[in-house]
Every structure is written in structure tokens, then in C-alpha cells.
């Protein structure tokens, strides 16, 4: 198992560099707290670096994880993925940022590369989960990610990735999306059937995935800077904690990254770093006012933010 031109090693290095760049940008936006660094080894093969910021002025909790793991998949799970056999290698950077203010949206991003048998592919994306909706914020987030995809067409297909994101981050038991979307893609660079992906396929996918990773900070941080000083009170904070409950429900029930980590014997602290420090579930909650209702309406009927 091994990709052409040391692509796996280059991807692992690229994601490690991206982790550092994102952490530096988040520390600057917070202006107070700093990330801790936790290096860990995975029983069975590989390891990673988890970086966590807690109790900041802007971010209540922020986790940015880099990993490079390998091993053998459970037989039933291996059968669900491309490629022969059960051996795998996976490297990626993943993050979830939970702001203190309900006026600043939560966000998630993940950029990864996997090898299994004769198959190799890139997956990932980024999405935005506001508690109070400003249309211009959603448009900025989508526009920045779309520009990164557009620079790498045809592999970077923003309209397809946008639809994929809306479908993937749909909480079926709530009949609503987790947030206002972004991009999501998987199996990019992988050739269908048993045909091995070409060097050109994988290199194009790597360039696109790297560009999307680089676009995350300019897509998100300007929104933080715009909203972090907005006034809010106890009612808005309560709404934020209730909406965080939806976030937890998705991550524990549907999220592929969580599933992959649990089924491959991943490190629990890193897998569950996406969970917020405070959350609440109240019985039979309805939006308490027009701003909250406007958000829920968008979550139930995803919007084409860029008219594409």
C-alpha cells in the first residue's frame, strides 16, 4: 500500500502545517487564550497532535486535531469502503470551534486523505452553524469556499459540494440541517470500481483539498471579527445552548468522522473534542422569537446562498 510520489507523506505534512496556521489565526481572533498541545500515540499504529483552547474571551472551546494513523479495519467496516483488504492509513486535520457569544457561529472543518488497499482518496469540507443568522455572513463563508473550489475545476465542484454538504449535515430525526452549510466531499481522486486512481487524479484532488483548507481561515475569521462584540443576554445564550444540543445529536448519531474514529479504535479525547463544554436539552422547544424562527426556517429549507 502506497501512493505515487509519496503523496500520503506530503498530505500528512500539509495537514500538520494547516493545523498550525489555523491555531495561530484562532488565537489571534480570541486575543486572550492559547492552545494546549497534546501529542498522542494510537494503539495499533500512528498517532497525532490534539490542540485545544478553552475558556477564551471569544472561544469557549476550540479543538484542532491532526492525525496520522494506520492499522486494520474491522471486516464489516472495511467492506463499506473502497479498496481491497482491511489495512488502511489515514491522515487529516479536523476542527470544531465553539464561540462564547451566541452571535458568533460555531464552525467545523475537516480535510483528510485515506489509503486502503489499492484505493486512495481525499475527503473533507467546512460548514457554518450560526445561532442568529446574518445573510451576509453565510454568503461570505460560501463565497470564499466557492472561490477555492472554482480555482481547481473540474475536481473542485462547488455546486455539487454545496448540495452534498446540505444533504450530509441533515439531522433526520429533527428534519433540519445542522447549520447553513458550506462544502462537503468524499472519495475525490478515487477511481470507480477496481481501477487504480491515476497520478493526475490524486494530484488534482490534493491541490483542491489544500486550497479549501487554506480558505477556511479567510472564510470564518472575518465573521468572528464582525460579530464578537454584538450585544446579547441570557435569552440569546439559552437559545445557543439549546441549538448546541442539535450539534451534539448530529455528531454522535450521524457523523462519519466520529464513526470512523470509534470503529478504528481511535483516541476518545480526540474523537469527542468536537463536543461543546455547555449544552442543554429542554422539552418541546419552539423558537422563542422572530430571529430564532428565521434561523429555523432556513435550516428546514436550505438556501442557495450564491445563486448557483
CA distance 127 to 164: 11
Give me the catalytic one of 108, 140, 142, 152.
Answer: 108
108 is catalytic: yes
User: Which positions are catalytic?
Assistant: 108
Amino acid at each position: 500500500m502506497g501512493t505515487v510520489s509519496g503523496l500520503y507523506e506530503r498530505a500528512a505534512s500539509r495537514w500538520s502545517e494547516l493545523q498550525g496556521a489555523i491555531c495561530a489565526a484562532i488565537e489571534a481572533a480570541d486575543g486572550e487564550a492559547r492552545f494546549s498541545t497534546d501529542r498522542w500515540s494510537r494503539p495499533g499504529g500512528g498517532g497525532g497532535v490534539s490542540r485545544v483552547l478553552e475558556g477564551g474571551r471569544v472561544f469557549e472551546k476550540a479543538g484542532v486535531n491532526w492525525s496520522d494513523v494506520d492499522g486494520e479495519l474491522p471486516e464489516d467496516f472495511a467492506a463499506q469502503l473502497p479498496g481491497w483488504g482491511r489495512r488502511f492509513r489515514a491522515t487529516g486535520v479536523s476542527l470544531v470551534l465553539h464561540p462564547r457569544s451566541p452571535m458568533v457561529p460555531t464552525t467545523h472543518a475537516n480535510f483528510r486523505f485515506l489509503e486502503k488497499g489499492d484505493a486512495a482518496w481525499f475527503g473533507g469540507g467546512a460548514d457554518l452553524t450560526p445561532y442568529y443568522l446574518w445573510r451576509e455572513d453565510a454568503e461570505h463563508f460560501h463565497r470564499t469556499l466557492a472561490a477555492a473550489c472554482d480555482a481547481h475545476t473540474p475536481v473542485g465542484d462547488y455546486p455539487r459540494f454545496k448540495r452534498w454538504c446540505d444533504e450530509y449535515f441533515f439531522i433526520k430525526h429533527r428534519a433540519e440541517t445542522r447549520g447553513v452549510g458550506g462544502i462537503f466531499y468524499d472519495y475525490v481522486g478515487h477511481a470507480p470500481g477496481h481501477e487504480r486512481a491515476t497520478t493526475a487524479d490524486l494530484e488534482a484532488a490534493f491541490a483542491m483539498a489544500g486550497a479549501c483548507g487554506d480558505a477556511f481561515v479567510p472564510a470564518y475569521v472575518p465573521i468572528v471579527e464582525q460579530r464578537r462584540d454584538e450585544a446579547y443576554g441570557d435569552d440569546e445564550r439559552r437559545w445557543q445552548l439549546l441549538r448546541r444540543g442539535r450539534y451534539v445529536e448530529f455528531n454522535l448519531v450521524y457523523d462519519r468522522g466520529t464513526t470512523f474514529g470509534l470503529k478504528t479504535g481511535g483516541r476518545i479525547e480526540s474523537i469527542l473534542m468536537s463536543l461543546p463544554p455547555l449544552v442543554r436539552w429542554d422539552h418541546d422547544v419552539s423558537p422563542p422569537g422572530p430571529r430564532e424562527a428565521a434561523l429555523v426556517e432556513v435550516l428546514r429549507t436550505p438556501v442557495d446562498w450564491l445563486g448557483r
